[in-house]
Structure 1
Amino acid sequence: MIRRDQGAATFFYFLVAGFATVVMLFPLYSMVMTSILTQPQLYRLPPYLLPPQLDLSSYAVAFSDQLKPIITSAIIGALTVAFSLAIAIPAAYGLALFRLWITGVLMLALLITQMIPSIMLATPLYLMFNRAGLTDTYLGLVVATSTSGIPFAVVLLRAFLEKVPKELREAALIDGASEFSVLWRIIIPISRPAIITAGLFIFLFSWADFVYALTLTPTGKIVPLTIGIYKYIGTYSVQWNLIMAASVLASIPAALLLILAQRYVTAGLTVGAVKG
């Protein structure tokens, strides 16, 4: 009786897991299928479950159209990571080092900023950046995207830095090291998993940003990847095969980064999960 119950529980577990896997993979399947069908084939009823032939022409067109936007988004993402971490690392170090009553207030404020959707900030940022001459510039997009990247990085890095033994800092200060030397030579190397994790997610925030890219580039001098894909949506037609082909191409760099940094991401995200 017990074995039968265990077998039924195991079967139910695999059934639920299989269903969840299908649900999660279906959007990916739909995206790939749409990208290798021609425009007339997309509207066939019943729809194709498998492509009648392998047509990669959409990928050729999408790659040709989106190569420059991909490079643009990569530059914006790299600059956003550098700018955000340059501010977040010292801020997180200070919040972890000086545990005052105001620290909790500041952390709560950072968490609240994470809850504000970018669409609410887009118009105020546009008005400020337009007066400052930062629209249609890399700097404007970097600063705008950093409004979500910096709070995330500070919260994540502070949780990691609180676990660093204070004795390391005290010993370095006794040996004559400055506070900057402690941060640069001791804290940053120790915090590499958390820093890589924060940097990766900041890059992904920037890579997938659409609201700021659309709002802060009114003349189209700078075309990030999300705007390049958006241009496939016309007034009277939508080129779904090109949109999906470009989306597949856009997901490849992000997937490669996640794979290469997997062990650092795992270590960084588990920070603070277990109290020492």
Structure 2
Amino acid sequence: MTAHPVSRRFFVTGLGLFVTGIIAFPIYWLIVTSLRAPADLQNTPSLLPVHIDASAYVALLHQPELLHYLVNSAFYGICTTVLTVALGASAAYALARLELRGKTITLFGLLVLQTFPSIMLAIPLFVMFSRLHLIDSRMSVVVAITTKTLPFAILMLRPYFMTLPKDLENAAAVDGCGRISTLVRVILPLSLPGIATVAAFNFLSGWGDLLFSLTLLTDESKKPISLGLYKFMGVYGTDWNQLMAASVAAALPALLVFAASQRFLISGLAAGSTNE
């Protein structure tokens, strides 16, 4: 006997809500812990805070270094996004439209590079930047993050570019546009969902980077928020209220970026993952 459509719908909906609840629970616990009174943290934790206390957020406003951490993270996120989109779009367009030797090997190499764990790149990059005297440089962190985000950008944008009709490029060539001009004026505006998808993921990678910043930076004024959170973890104890409040502040910009680009993400991911 087949299951009733209504029963199946309720089952799928209930299963979806259950999985969503499991995924969202750490975020809920993060926010709830940041709103607990310091005295409540010493007691047995409950799902709801006994007393709402926003003193952790008020304390963050009196820590100007937190703003520097957030600005640094924004710098790494924005610069990584701009650099990756510029290089990734150019490379993806070339792989999508030009007849290049070794194209298959190049694509396979990009796929392999995407699977490399960041720790395998951290030490070679540290040695390279050390010899170039670029340790403690913000741009060294941006370049290091780009080594991880660039393969993803190329593999996402190439199939998206391949869905665009070549007649558009032929018409642009008749009007006197070269390859670069065609890419900038015709291809990129029509590929906004794919560009937005790549930009959102790249911004998140730059914003939340920990490994490369930890490896390449020693100057406290250049560290991102991912390293700044360690300020609340002392040798003799952890200020859980402020740590969770700072974590909420660190996660909020990334959530806003994804919320703003949500309508592009679904179409961009679908186009980048299903077209060949």
1:57-111 per-position Cα deviation (integer Å, ceiling 9, x unaligned)? 1112234432111011111111111111221111111000124451121111111
Aligned CA distance change for structure 1 residues 207 and 273 (closer, same or farther; 3 Å): closer
Give the distance between the partners of 1:189 and 1:31, measured in 2 at CA: 39
Letter in 1 for 2:180: F
The Cα shift of 1:269 comes to: 0.8
TM-score by length of 2: 0.91
The Cα shift of 1:198 comes to: 0.8
Aligned to 2:41: 42
Aligned CA distance change for structure 1 residues 145 and 48 (closer, same or farther; 3 Å): same
Aligned to 1:192: 192
Aligned CA distance change for structure 1 residues 237 and 103 (closer, same or farther; 3 Å): same
Give the distance between the partners of 2:55 and 2:20, measured in 1 at CA: 30
Is the CA contact 1:193–1:265 (under 8 Å) kept in the aligned structure 2?
A: yes
Matched residue of 1:270: which SS?
Answer: helix
Aligned to 1:51: 49
Aligned to 1:20: 19
Matched residue of 1:176: which SS?
Answer: coil
Aligned CA distance change for structure 1 residues 64 and 265 (closer, same or farther; 3 Å): farther
Is 2:224 aligned against 1:228? no
Over the aligned positions, Cα root-mean-square deviation in angstroms equals 2.1
Q: Please identify, of 57-66 and 195-204, the stretch whose mean Cα deviation from structure 2 is larger.
A: 57-66
TM-score by length of 1: 0.91
Is the CA contact 2:156–2:273 (under 8 Å) kept in the aligned structure 1?
A: no
Which residues of structure 1 form unaligned runs of 5+? Answer: none
Give matches, 1:99-138, under 5 Å.
Answer: 99-100=99-100, 102-138=102-138
Give the distance between the partners of 2:161 and 2:11, measured in 1 at CA: 42
Give matches, 1:92-171, under 5 Å.
Answer: 92-100=92-100, 102-171=102-171
1:204-226 per-position Cα deviation (integer Å, ceiling 9, x unaligned)? 00111111111111243412110
Letter in 2 for 1:57: S
Aligned CA distance change for structure 1 residues 249 and 97 (closer, same or farther; 3 Å): same
Give the distance between the partners of 1:275 and 1:144, measured in 2 at CA: 29
Aligned to 1:208: 208
Partner residue of 2:58 out of 60, 65, 75: 60
Aligned to 1:175: 175
The Cα shift of 1:36 comes to: 1.3
